[in-house]
Structure 1
Amino acid sequence: MSHIETDSPSPARYRILDLFAGPGGLDVAADVLGHEVTGIEWDAGACATRAKAGMDTFKGDVREYRAAFFPHAQVLTGGPPCQTFTVAGHGAGRRALDQVLRYIDRLHRAVRDTVDHPDASAAWAKVFRAWRKIHEELRLKEVEARTVKAEKRAVEQSRTRQRKAIRKRLEDMGKSPEQVKELLKNLEEPTALEIRDDEFAGLVKEFGELTGVLDKLRDKLEELGDERTGLVLQPLWWIIERSRRPGSVPFEAVILEQVPAVMPVWHAYTEVLDTLEYRTATQLLHTETFGVPQTRRRAVLMARRDGSDRTPLPPVKRTHELYHRGKSLAGPSPSDTLPVEDAEGEDDRPIEKWISMEKALESAGRFSADVRTRPPFTVVSNYGTGGKPEDRGRRDHDMPSATVTGKVSRNRLVHPGTDRNLDGDLARFNKAEAGVLQTFPAAYPWDGNDISQQIGNAVPPRLALHVLRHVLEPGLGKKEAEARLDTGIEELMSWKPRRTVSPREQRDLKGHPLTGR
């Protein structure tokens, strides 16, 4: 498969297909490196932002598309939604993770068992049958889960009505507001309610029965999982399809990223990719060690298909210090999963200090008036710490931000050492400023609904810049690679949209550069 024509032989430009593309965190990084990206994204808000940013997009569910639709895509990237694995309580996350690992093992066995099959078509048919069985199992679980969810909503509504009836009965019995509040708190422990009233007792009994039904429905939903369990398998299936389907050409490289809880999935992926003759590596990356003004961890899977070379890919080298509890740590991160090795005979560039919120916003202010000048501030998180909602996390202006989430617009900016808000609208980050903390360009054209959630869910473009350059340009010398990163970072900061495009539908596949139709 030929690369995109360039005036110079190095570095090569790639055609990238980005699954679960979001608002364009990876896409804008790829754009400044000169690669062409097409994303698939279902969220209407993210598609609206991508449209204004000029990002080529097919709107819809990834499962409605196939790898065979895009034969000219050379690189596969993506971050499948994996919140299921981080669900707290009842072991739901662990069960969902174990289920996905079992599905991956089934696919791997199908791939491995057909490696030496003399008939490529028959081998593909066997692998495809394994996928269809998994796909059908997941589909039936989704159908059953929808039914259980409907039952759960009905029970919750009945439970709410019952709670209101209990409240009214307590008020009719002359209980004070404080007594009513306390008694309602103990409804799930009826033995603690020492009230001799037959009507009240009957209401509480019915409430308890509804609670029991609700608990069983919750357990059933945890057992069934949700659609995200199937979505995390999609990138692997696309890789398998392009590698084993007769007439297809394998992706030259793969980059996948998600929350740290997904690392076991990436490890299982690498076993399949090894069978498919890819060189692989997994790495837990701390975003602040790559110049992102934010502490965040991402689990990354990297793979290349380099002919007979099967050695593991080297780790991505960090450029900045690790931030930890108000201190900068120049030594290796204790969570790095691979050692950092220096190129023989060359000295590395000195590791820089992590970048603070203040510095990031000040630098971005050169490119957009939407990034405003502020006096020193402390960010008070919308989230509590240690399980205490009232104990809000705090970060000062001269530190990296805490992890930017979909609630970033709710964070308060106060005067240091106080709980007094900054004046006016400076007490909140606007969308441009929140985007800058995620290393989006200050001029990024955020649009659509729930922009804070779009920003919080996105891969930090500066992190994507490092990973893309590392995986797609392995042949660059150290100094050339450093210069490439420096230029890319400056261009990322100054980036502005050049055009507006409309999201495509599946019917628009014909004539697209990746389809060959």
Structure 2
Amino acid sequence: MSHIENEPCSPARFRIIDLFAGPGGLDVAAKALGYEATGIEWDAGACATRRAAGLDTFQGDVRRYRAAFFPHAQVLTGGPPCQTFTVAGHGAGRRALDEVLQYIERLHQAVHPANAQDWTQIFRTWRKISEKLRLRELEAKEVKAEKRTVEELRALKRKALKSRLEQLGISAVDIKSALKKLKSPQSLDEFSDDELTNLLRDYGSLNDQLDKLKDRLEDLGDERTGLVLQPLWWVIERSKRPGSKPYEAVVLEQVPAVMRVWEEYAKVLASLGYRTGTQLMHTEAFGVPQTRRRAVLMARLDPAAAGNALRPDCLPKVKETHERYQPGGRQPRAGQADPLPFDTKKKADDEPETWVSMEKALKKARAIQPALPRRPAFTVISNYGTGGVPEARGRRDHDVPSATITGKVSRNRVVEKDTGEDLDRFTPAEAGVLQTFPVKYPWSGNDVSQQIGNAVPPRLALHVLRHVLEPDLSQAEAKTRLKEAAARLESWKKPERPLQIRQHGWWEGHPLTGK
């Protein structure tokens, strides 16, 4: 069932399985292009939104599902939730990245044609990795529970310390100052009182316990390590499991820090017979009224590529359609001369358009949904600091793209540009529009701001899906396809009835399961 008017007949009716599907950014884009998408998502709030939007969904942990459950899926997409990876230093982020890359290399060695391992051997490698991660996750849960208990005890000790200081007649100002020093309890020796001394000793002991538990959790790693490996295993399973057919295409996206992971993924996919490409994409360069960067992995099945590492003829980059935003004013693109003040030269067909501002996006959405707030010229003041200074809040005016929409978008202040007077903060509909969701998208469930902030911008997904799934279109045909799909996306209407969410095991009657 589709809820996008005048759904087109796409060049090939691919069926997509979307892992970690969120509220549906990629899925609603796929529908605008005429493809069928089924998402797997565990978050109840995101599933509520998907249900209201009529998006086909299985609810649950991706790790409980397998590629074999959906034999008729032809395309794999997804954005696994990833811990913060770092490529420098020796902290937890660097260790997490190293660990993930080691697991990917083990899987690569298992599937590489030069090693000639059969499916049983390949699966054994995956099972060993999965079991190790599972046991560590169970241990981490126990440590986290112990940590919560210690934190609760420490909070009680803190209250007891405050109460004892009050009994000793210490002023409120001195008590406040003393409590700030509790990270170094020995600094409170100025108060000579046996009961207070015992409380401080106990408090210090609890602090030491917490430090050890934090170190243990850091050593155990992050449960998301296993999640970031899931898409790779799904591709391997479909490529190597007897009786399975490889996916025709793969599209994965995440924050820029994950690019190193995608680059290693690409090597494995090349060994499995895919032409691959990675790209750091600036969302405003694809018509999204927001500056945001995403690391994207793209792959298309090409049996001639099997056995090679990254090939020189890897997938080409997705062509940018808009200029990138340069804070402080429009800047000429590399290789272009400065524009003349009154240049009336007609823009070439392949010349990028100017980025889309918040004002333009919201005005266009208001034409579709008149109930959207009418705003004077405004400035958005971020909930985040800049340059490492919490007090230096980032600011963006209405006539430029938004800063990155995060899960804290509802905390951003919106003020009148000229007077600084507070205006209403962005509604979910407005925040969704800045993420290029349809203005009538039915945001539902809990923590809507987080849903919006975590979502793939549908407009970006349009470009990537079109590029990977329709590589043979001419430039003119591709431009027309994108224009028509973008129009369908903007005019999207909520379905009359929600679509029931499926649970694990409810395979009957689903087009991807064949049951």
Please, what TM-score do these two structures have when normalized by structure 1?
A: 0.91
Secondary structure at the aligned position of 1:375 is classed as coil
Q: Distance in 2 between matches of 1:288 and 1:163?
A: 49
Unaligned runs of 5+ in 1: 1-6, 118-122, 334-346
Matched-pair contact (CA < 8 Å) for 2:87–2:97: no
Q: Distance in 1 between matches of 2:492 and 2:8?
A: 23
* Letter matched to residue 173 of structure 2: E
Secondary structure at the aligned position of 2:383 is classed as strand
Matches within 5 A, 1:14-93: 14-85=14-85, 91-93=91-93
- 1:78–1:8 distance in 2 versus 1, CA, 3 Å: closer
Per the TM alignment, residue 125 of structure 1 is displaced from its structure 2 partner at its CA by 0.1
Q: Distance in 1 between matches of 2:334 and 2:459?
A: 20
**Greater shift after overlay, 233-242 or 304-313?**
304-313
Per the TM alignment, residue 225 of structure 1 is displaced from its structure 2 partner at its CA by 1.7
Q: Which residue of 1 is the match for residue 505 of structure 2?
A: 507
- 1:255–1:515 distance in 2 versus 1, CA, 3 Å: same
**Greater shift after overlay, 169-178 or 270-279?**
169-178
Q: Which residue of 1 is the match for residue 475 of structure 2?
A: 478
Per the TM alignment, residue 189 of structure 1 is displaced from its structure 2 partner at its CA by 2.1
Q: Which residue of 1 is the match for residue 455 of structure 2?
A: 458
Specify which of 488, 499, 511 is matched with residue 491 of structure 1. Answer: 488
* Letter matched to residue 317 of structure 2: P
Q: Which residue of 1 is the match for residue 158 of structure 2?
A: 163
Provide, for residues 318-344 of structure 1, a one-character-per-residue CA deviation record: whole Å limited to 9, x for no partner: 1111113233344259xxxxxxxxxxx
Q: Which residue of 2 is the match for residue 239 of structure 1?
A: 235
Per the TM alignment, residue 509 of structure 1 is displaced from its structure 2 partner at its CA by 0.9
Unaligned runs of 5+ in 2: 1-6, 306-310, 336-347
Matched-pair contact (CA < 8 Å) for 2:40–2:60: yes
Per the TM alignment, residue 10 of structure 1 is displaced from its structure 2 partner at its CA by 6.4
Q: Distance in 2 between matches of 1:197 and 1:90?
A: 43
Q: Distance in 2 between matches of 1:258 and 1:370?
A: 33
Secondary structure at the aligned position of 1:211 is classed as helix
Q: Which residue of 2 is the match for residue 110 of structure 1?
A: 110
Matched-pair contact (CA < 8 Å) for 1:95–1:223: no
Matched-pair contact (CA < 8 Å) for 1:358–1:398: yes
Per the TM alignment, residue 204 of structure 1 is displaced from its structure 2 partner at its CA by 1.7
**Greater shift after overlay, 197-206 or 52-61?**
197-206
Q: Which residue of 2 is the match for residue 361 of structure 1?
A: 362
Secondary structure at the aligned position of 1:480 is classed as helix
* Letter matched to residue 116 of structure 2: D
* Letter matched to residue 104 of structure 2: I
Q: Distance in 2 between matches of 1:419 and 1:296?
A: 26
* Letter matched to residue 140 of structure 1: L
Matched-pair contact (CA < 8 Å) for 1:58–1:505: yes
Per the TM alignment, residue 90 of structure 1 is displaced from its structure 2 partner at its CA by 8.0
Secondary structure at the aligned position of 1:49 is classed as helix
Work out the number of aligned pairs and report it: 489
Q: Distance in 2 between matches of 1:412 and 1:9?
A: 43
Matched, 1:297 2:298: no
Matches within 5 A, 1:94-493: 94-112=94-112, 116=116, 123-193=118-188, 194-308=190-304, 311-331=313-333, 349-422=350-423, 427-493=424-490
Per the TM alignment, residue 89 of structure 1 is displaced from its structure 2 partner at its CA by 11
* Letter matched to residue 42 of structure 2: W
Matched-pair contact (CA < 8 Å) for 1:370–1:432: no
Matched-pair contact (CA < 8 Å) for 1:322–1:330: no
* Letter matched to residue 320 of structure 1: H
Matched-pair contact (CA < 8 Å) for 2:14–2:75: yes
Provide, for residues 196-246 of structure 1, a one-character-per-residue CA deviation record: whole Å limited to 9, x for no partner: 333323222221111111011011111112321111110000000000001
RMSD: 2.1
Q: Distance in 2 between matches of 1:178 and 1:37?
A: 60
Q: Which residue of 1 is the match for residue 343 of structure 2?
A: none
- 1:501–1:114 distance in 2 versus 1, CA, 3 Å: farther
* Letter matched to residue 421 of structure 1: D
* Letter matched to residue 328 of structure 1: R
Provide, for residues 1-27 of structure 1, a one-character-per-residue CA deviation record: whole Å limited to 9, x for no partner: xxxxxx999622210000000000001
Matched-pair contact (CA < 8 Å) for 1:17–1:38: yes
- 1:49–1:252 distance in 2 versus 1, CA, 3 Å: same
Q: Distance in 2 between matches of 1:87 and 1:410?
A: 31
* Letter matched to residue 326 of structure 1: G
* Letter matched to residue 457 of structure 2: P
Q: Distance in 1 between matches of 2:27 and 2:493?
A: 13
* Letter matched to residue 255 of structure 2: V
Q: Which residue of 2 is the match for residue 3 of structure 1?
A: none
Q: Distance in 1 between matches of 2:84 and 2:147?
A: 19
Secondary structure at the aligned position of 1:373 is classed as coil
Q: Which residue of 1 is the match for residue 345 of structure 2?
A: none
Q: Distance in 1 between matches of 2:8 and 2:450?
A: 40
Q: Which residue of 1 is the match for residue 3 of structure 2?
A: none
Matched-pair contact (CA < 8 Å) for 2:8–2:34: no
Q: Distance in 2 between matches of 1:348 and 1:95?
A: 47
- 1:114–1:497 distance in 2 versus 1, CA, 3 Å: farther
Provide, for residues 376-408 of structure 1, a one-character-per-residue CA deviation record: whole Å limited to 9, x for no partner: 111111222233333322111111111111111
Secondary structure at the aligned position of 2:304 is classed as coil
* Letter matched to residue 507 of structure 1: G
Per the TM alignment, residue 173 of structure 1 is displaced from its structure 2 partner at its CA by 1.9
Per the TM alignment, residue 296 of structure 1 is displaced from its structure 2 partner at its CA by 0.7
Secondary structure at the aligned position of 1:428 is classed as coil
Q: Distance in 1 between matches of 2:80 and 2:60?
A: 14
Q: Distance in 1 between matches of 2:17 and 2:98?
A: 28
Q: Distance in 1 between matches of 2:43 and 2:89?
A: 28
**Greater shift after overlay, 412-421 or 126-135?**
412-421
* Letter matched to residue 390 of structure 1: E
Per the TM alignment, residue 85 of structure 1 is displaced from its structure 2 partner at its CA by 3.1
Q: Distance in 2 between matches of 1:406 and 1:294?
A: 14
Q: Distance in 2 between matches of 1:416 and 1:17?
A: 44
Please, what TM-score do these two structures have when normalized by structure 2?
A: 0.91
